Amino acid sequence: MKLASLRNGTRDGRLVVVSRDLTRALDATYVAATMRAAIDDWAVAEPGLRALAATLEDGSADGAFAFDPSQALAPLPRSHQFVDASAFLNHGDIMERAYDLAIKKTPGMCILVPRQGDDFRGPRDDYEFPTAEDQCDFEGEFAVITDDVPMGATPKEALTHVKLVTILNDVSMRKHLFREISLGFGLVMAKPATIFAPVAVTPDELGEAWHDGRVLLDMQVHRNGEPFGHPNGRGMDWSFGELLAQLAYNRRLGAGMVLGSGTVSDRDYRNVGSACLAERRALEKLDSGESVTPFMQYGESLQFEVFGLDGQSVFGAIDTRLVPATPANA
């Protein structure tokens, strides 16, 4: 099942079921008015939503309409908990080598980064930021959305609470990153609003590509329509279940929590490239002593998409143009 939230003038949009091929949608508001309502009460909402999805696939749906991703908000437009992991150690290793960082990791524990869920962006919204001097970068990531996860959940138990999977672009302002890491209290200016794919899908939509709490698919990244990288999710060093369990050590995770994987990073980076500029720049520095790939400028655009084992786009494409922040669009 694939779900999206379409613009309707409200903060949370209206919930629709989307066809597997992403061409058609069906209003789902009589089952759950919003994705928030659905995930708050997933066990009640899921059967009705799946019934709608079935009618959309078999052609019996009444009132289906063309799905327009430019009308999509983030699948869950706001969340009360958003945490971004750094679960691809390959990425951190490259960064540490290139910049002589000595990140004081705790053995066995993944880096988890508390973030904010009040301003998730839709896949085709222009993305405004105050100055290109902040060294605008992107990070292509897999993400999951859960229902309630109890305190102390095991990885296996936590994984059963993963109800939806999607992708995101974790926009990053590199100028502020090392300063905020060395300060030590978390990432604020380095990590403004996050951009989501048009659609979130139940794990079964991934088929065998959803394995051991990981998405075994390529993250296709394009910059201005040109291929940039396509690292695979199989190299994730912690599963989403393990990450959720670490997070739930002394807290309950409320329904609708969004957990990002961290930038997808592939040990075969020589052949497949990276899902963020920082990693490519770090590899350039390691190879030649100098980073040459420039950070993002206003007017550039970024595309992220993942294709399933059947060759179809799973989540739809993120396609974002970067623009200056002005009073009008802030």
Per CB under 8 A, residues contacting a second copy are 11, 40, 78-81, 83, 86, 103-106, 111-119, 128-130, 134, 150-152, 173, 179-189, 192-193, 247, 249-257, 325, 327, 330
- By beta-carbon proximity to a second copy, the closer residue of 68 and 118 is 118
Output the smallest distance, CB 289 to a second copy, in A.
26
Alpha-carbon distance of 42 to 49, in angstroms, equals 10
Alpha-carbon distance of 244 to 24, in angstroms, equals 33
- By beta-carbon proximity to a second copy, the closer residue of 46 and 128 is 128
Single out the residue of 300, 309, 155 nearest to residue 233, CA to CA. 309
Output the smallest distance, CB 249 to a second copy, in A.
6
Output the smallest distance, CB 116 to a second copy, in A.
4
Distance (Å) of CA 36 to CA 74, 187, 298, 301, 312: 12, 26, 33, 29, 27
- By beta-carbon proximity to a second copy, the closer residue of 216 and 323 is 323
240: Cα separation from own chain's centroid:
13
- By beta-carbon proximity to a second copy, the closer residue of 40 and 57 is 40
Output the smallest distance, CB 92 to a second copy, in A.
11
Alpha-carbon distance of 55 to 51, in angstroms, equals 7
Single out the residue of 313, 308, 314, 274 nearest to residue 291, CA to CA. 274
- By beta-carbon proximity to a second copy, the closer residue of 147 and 218 is 147
Output the smallest distance, CB 122 to a second copy, in A.
14
Q: Are 168 and 145 in contact (CB under 8 A)?
A: no
